[in-house]
Amino acid sequence: MPEAEVTYSPDERQKIAETWPMSIDDSLARRDWGWSHHYDIEKTTQTMLRLVKNQMEASNVALS
């Protein structure tokens, strides 16, 4: 979707997000619980674009 344009309008939740650490050490969760992420940046982006496209189609927005 190279023609896509995204505009964000942060609300009060942005201030909360800005207090979060830039990275999270999940080594203990991996060790103790066997936790593993299911999404990397590529899969996250693919999923996001698919969901946006589906939502736009459901709203009858022209995708040109």
Q: Is residue 20 part of a domain?
A: no
In angstroms, what CA-CA distances link 3 with 26, 33, 43, 46? 36, 42, 20, 16
Q: Is residue 42 part of a domain?
A: yes
Q: Is residue 22 part of a domain?
A: no
User: How many Cα atoms are found within 13 Å in the side-chain-facing hemisphere of 53?
Assistant: 11
Range of the domain at 52: 38-64
- Per cent of the chain over pLDDT 90 is 52
pLDDT at 63 over 60: no
pLDDT at 64 over 60: no
Query: pLDDT grade, residue 1 (50/70/90)?
Result: low
Burial of 16 (0-12, 13-18, 19+ CB in 10 A): exposed
pTM: 0.49
Q: Is residue 45 part of a domain?
A: yes
Amino acid in the structure at residue 47:
T
Q: Is residue 24 part of a domain?
A: no
Please tell me the total count of domains within the chain.
1
pLDDT in tens, 21-46: 988 899 999 999 999 988 888 999 99
